[in-house]
A and B are shown apart, each in its own frame.
Chain A
Amino acid sequence: MRIPCPYCGPRDSSEFAYLGDAAPRRPADGDAAAMATYVYLRDNPAGPMEELWYHAYGCRAWLVVRRDTRDHAVTGARLAAGREASA
């Protein structure tokens, strides 16, 4: 599986560390229940999903990678740092 890193170009997935679903946002208002949801609850969709990957053996950028969980087809990746602006 290859991930198109915006900095480094298409690279082998073994260079990356996987975190998981990119959708949850860290709650900023100190709500314990919302934080528990953020820390523990994840969806497990079959289909396209946006995920956080870290280019550990490359540029060390965190990426939002769009991957289909059914066939591992990767259809895009962008820097996590700019995700609010581009979303």
Chain B
Amino acid sequence: MSSHRLGTGGLVDRQTPIGFSFDGRPLTGLAGDTLASALVANGIRLVGRSFKYHRPRGIVSAGPEEPNALVEKGRGAYREPNTRATTVELYPGLDVASQNRWPSLRFDVQAIGQLASPLLAAGFYYKTFMWPAALWERLYEPAIRRAAGLGSLSGAPDPDFYEKAYAFCDLLVIGAGPAGLAAALTAGRAGARVILLEQDFALGGRLLAERCEIDGMPGAVWAREVEAELATLANVRILSRTAAFGLYDGEVGAVERLTDHLAVTPACMPRQRLWTLVAAQTVLAAGAVERPIVFGGNDRPGIMLASAMRSYIQRFAALPGRSVAVFTATDDGWRTAEAFARAGAPVAAVIDSRRDIVASVRALAGDVPVFLGARVLDAIGGQSLSAIEVIGDHGRRRIAVDGLAVSGGFNPDLAMTTHLGHKPRWSETSLAFLPDALPAHLVVAGAAAGRFTLAEALADGARLGAAAAGMAGKPAAAPPAWRASDETFAVGPLFHVEGGRGKAFVDLQNDVTDKDVAQSVHEGFVSVEHLKRYTTLGMATDQGRTSNVNGLAILARLTGRTIPETGSTRARPPHGPVAIGAFAGLHTGPHFKPTRLTAGHGWAEEQGAVFVETGQWLRAQWFPRPGETDWLESVTREVQAVRSGVGICDVSTLGKIALAGPDVGVFLDRVYCNTFSTLPVGKARYGLMLREDGFVMDDGTTARFGAEDYLLSTTTVNAGKVMQHLAFCHQVLWPELDVQMVSVTEQWAQFAVAGPQSRALLQQVFGSAVDLSDAAFPYLACGAFPLGPTMARLFRISFSGERAYEIAVPAGYGDALVRALMAGGRDLGVTPYGTEALAVMRIEKGHVAGAELNGQTVARDLGLGRMMSTKKDYIGRLMAERAALNDPDRPTLVGLKPTVPGVRLRAGAHFLPIGAAASAENDQGYMTSTAFSPSLGHWIGLGLLARGPERIGEQIRAYDPIRGGDAVVEVVNPVFIDPEGNRVHG
């Protein structure tokens, strides 16, 4: 048995010892232990070094409020720093190390930093190392960061995985103490859908740690029976090891720890699960956190919250000290004296700052020395507490102790009520912040509401649980009336004992002392929010659960204000640490966003395609052939194959929107700048869509297959945006138009068949029954033809400038279609081509694409001004008429070619007059797209150049200092190939 383990009592399993290690030292605990309780049971006091001063620190609490006992858990990539020992469940092989010490916990070199501590007072960052500035980055900051800090990260990617879940309920109960259990059981019995959250691994809250009775049975037994009944209710879900961390608009965020307590992680089990909980009603029953008292040396290992000491004795059967004193301003502190007496280690003294103590409380101490109206002035000791100095009616007295239980009052855990901006109010009777204005659909029960006795907690829970069930239409029969054992609650005002010799810590985690608060006031930081930021009081893993109110009380006294006048800081989620991985869930690496594959993807993979991400889509970029070593070699071959024979390109990713109804023509006239109401059945037309501010939004072709049957195409990246825009135009602007629309992007697989031999290939595939002659199916024709078991849609449109078609089939036939096209074109030397060759050919033809349709260009800039109809109104017309958008000085589309063949052009190069300085005022535009033209044998570019069309033949400078480019280029017609447009017919 470990040195400080009690022989009887507690909720630990003495038959199940668990081996673990702390700083490499093998230790034994019991099933039911936390890491902290196992350390207490082994008599280990010193567990860490403090943030700034590297002072020795021990365990202070028994819950998530722990400011001191932060450890590194796990090894290698699994290492997790700043884990609270009080919330780590013990398991075989648990391997933890203390933090922020070197070379060892007992001998920490940087503890001599205490000698330099005047330099590290509040605001030291801003003052001490101001000059010379050059040394800040190189010397001061690295040195401070090494000395001051918490644990360190592994530096390796997180090897665990996480998931997210959503749940909905009538009643969400946060906290499974007496109030929470009562609420969950009352609503659960009534049939309401209940979710009960508990951050601990066991339900019961303080019932697990206190000597109390409900209906004649011990509190812990009652909790176990309630849990058993809840488990039988199908409408109740219990989430233990689950901490609520934030209240958001209409939902609660919580994180469930699934494997952190397991020695062996089952395969496929996420480490943690991030819950989004949507509840009609929420009962916050998170309890209250005891607050310490600020006095000299109050950080010595061995000084602990009085309620935490009771947890260690009565829940974990671990004795936190053999000769302990109690320093209290509450009735509750006296219960700790009783707990020690029952454990066979009577306390050395009870020191209460109050003088009037009711007899029943006074009796809890038995016959140990009691000092009323007294205070602990100083705590003495090094790596462990050895004595306290008490001041009172007797004068000063030194008492030898090895532990001190401290109780300064209780802070209801109200953070969740303030996340949406609601403020609590200060109660002078409870000496605590209590809930005041509350967010909608949230109520507070038990100690969290300042109702600190067990009877009040049970009554609150029953009442609020019944109310929530009633609101859900499941009225509770009769709220249970549980009988609780008697207890008193009284507290006196004691936050700070002045006059001690040692450092008096307000915030243990951030090493903020009473002097730091005074200095903050002295320098004018008297707002509570300024105090927090200037001293860091209340930050980090504990979120000031034990420090905020004491800091506030000291600030109030120093500024001559009351606590309500001083105000409280606004809490923001998360209330406790949450791994970033939990927020990411499964959306990491390649799963960060969905990947969309076309119907022809498998075929393209077989062809050895190199893929590129285009939005969410993967598209074949080029198809390397054996022996080709360079992408440009492959792309050049593909372009030449299309221009001389026939090629196939998967264009399924283009957005497709089907429109139907008698008013489609009118509707398209209003959303495109050019006219569509004149489009005959069996024809396709290129359209340009503007935003209402006059700038170009998107382009594409629309085909009319029947009187009321249209198919509109969009660019790949704008598919969603155009669908949203068209829905807006119809539903918001012109609901009177009889139009229906639906996105069919994924319903059709579509391939471009391009090149002089394209008709021959398609004729082979369709057979002689379909007439594809120019007379029957001319340029810009569209139609539907039988193909095997389905109907194929055929469009005679061209992006490459060659004779070309696009053929579409229902997506399920896409794979079969591309194989049929390849088979049909075998004798014609058909060549698959990718997006690079597509881009080269569109640049050769001067077609605009994403680089030109960049949201900053109007139709005129793109040489498309003539498309803008003057005979109708349409989205963007009035704004596009603005004078500044029609200024000929605006950069306008031109072609560019190098004056010296072989010079490479790069998109992004800026245009300057030759001989002009490379300055912003001489900037005349920039290169938008470039390609090596296999047809011309040199690089070509498209660009936007001020007064571009007037300057054909002029030489300008394309200046690209980032990549060392500086070329003289000639301004040319943007249509490099076949400007007459003959080939599209040939």
A and B associate in one complex = yes
Interface residues of A (CB under 8 A from B): 1-2, 13, 17, 19, 26, 30, 32, 35-36, 38-40, 52, 54, 56, 60-62, 71-73, 79-82, 84
Contact B733 A26 (CB under 8 A): yes
A45 to B141, CA, bound (A): 44
Proximity bits, B233-256, A CB within 8 Å = 1, else 0: 000000000000000111100000
Most chain A CB within 10 A, of B720, B727, B732, is at B732
Select from chain A the residue with minimum beta-carbon distance to B724: A54
Q: Which of B711-725 contact A (CB under 8 A)?
A: 720, 723-724
Contact B881 A32 (CB under 8 A): yes
Select from chain B the residue with minimum beta-carbon distance to A14: B276
Which interface class (under 10, 10 to 19, 20 to 34, 35 or more) fits B?
A: 20 to 34
A81 to B741, CA, bound (A): 14
B440 CB contact (under 8 Å) in A38, A73, A82: A73
Contact A79 B731 (CB under 8 A): yes
Which residues of B lie under 8 Å from residue A54 when comparing CB positions?
724, 727-728
Is B812 among interface residues, defined by CB-CB distance under 8 A?
no
Which residues of B lie under 8 Å from residue A62 when comparing CB positions?
727-728, 731-732
Q: 10 closest Cβ contacts across the A-B interface?
A: A1-B249, A81-B735, A72-B249, A81-B731, A35-B878, A62-B731, A80-B732, A2-B250, A32-B878, A62-B732
Which residues of A lie under 8 Å from residue B278 when comparing CB positions?
2
Contact A30 B878 (CB under 8 A): yes
Q: Which of B650-704 contact A (CB under 8 A)?
A: 692-693
A61 to B693, CA, bound (A): 23
A35 CB contact (under 8 Å) in B249, B732, B733, B879: B879
Query: Contacts A36-B879, A62-B732, A73-B440 known; A56 to B724 CB distance under 8 Å?
Result: yes
A40 to B421, CA, bound (A): 32
Select from chain B the residue with minimum beta-carbon distance to A64: B732
A52 to B732, CA, bound (A): 9
A46 to B732, CA, bound (A): 24
Pairs A–B under 8 Å by Cβ, sample size 5: A13-B249, A17-B724, A19-B728, A62-B727, A62-B731
A2 to B166, CA, bound (A): 13
Interface residues of B (CB under 8 A from A): 248-251, 278, 420-421, 440, 692-693, 720, 723-724, 727-728, 730-733, 735, 873, 878-879, 881-882
Report the minimal beta-carbon distance from A56 to chain B, rounded to whole angstroms: 6
A-B pair count, CB < 8 Å, reads: 58
Which residues of A lie under 8 Å from residue B692 when comparing CB positions?
26, 35, 38-39
Which residues of A lie under 8 Å from residue B732 when comparing CB positions?
52, 62, 80-81
A60 CB contact (under 8 Å) in B250, B727, B733, B878: B727
A54 to B733, CA, bound (A): 14
A39 to B731, CA, bound (A): 18
A72 to B419, CA, bound (A): 13
Report the minimal beta-carbon distance from B793 to chain A, rounded to whole angstroms: 24
Report the minimal beta-carbon distance from B747 to chain A, rounded to whole angstroms: 15
Which residues of B lie under 8 Å from residue A17 when comparing CB positions?
724
A62 to B248, CA, bound (A): 25
New A-B contacts (16) at CB < 8 Å, excluding given A52-B732, A60-B723: A2-B251, A32-B882, A39-B692, A52-B728, A54-B724, A54-B727, A56-B720, A60-B727, A61-B727, A61-B731, A62-B727, A62-B728, A71-B249, A79-B731, A81-B732, A84-B735
Report the minimal beta-carbon distance from A23 to chain B, rounded to whole angstroms: 12
Which residues of A lie under 8 Å from residue B251 when comparing CB positions?
2
A73 to B441, CA, bound (A): 12
A77 to B183, CA, bound (A): 33
Report the minimal beta-carbon distance from B855 to chain A, rounded to whole angstroms: 15
Report the minimal beta-carbon distance from A61 to chain B, rounded to whole angstroms: 7
Report the minimal beta-carbon distance from B877 to chain A, rounded to whole angstroms: 8
A52 to B724, CA, bound (A): 12
Which residues of B lie under 8 Å from residue A61 when comparing CB positions?
727, 731
Contact B727 A1 (CB under 8 A): no
Which residues of A lie under 8 Å from residue B878 when comparing CB positions?
30, 32, 35
A56 to B724, CA, bound (A): 7
Which residues of B lie under 8 Å from residue A1 when comparing CB positions?
248-250
A20 to B733, CA, bound (A): 15
Report the minimal beta-carbon distance from B277 to chain A, rounded to whole angstroms: 12
Report the minimal beta-carbon distance from B264 to chain A, rounded to whole angstroms: 36
Report the minimal beta-carbon distance from A86 to chain B, rounded to whole angstroms: 12
Contact A80 B731 (CB under 8 A): yes
A21 to B251, CA, bound (A): 25
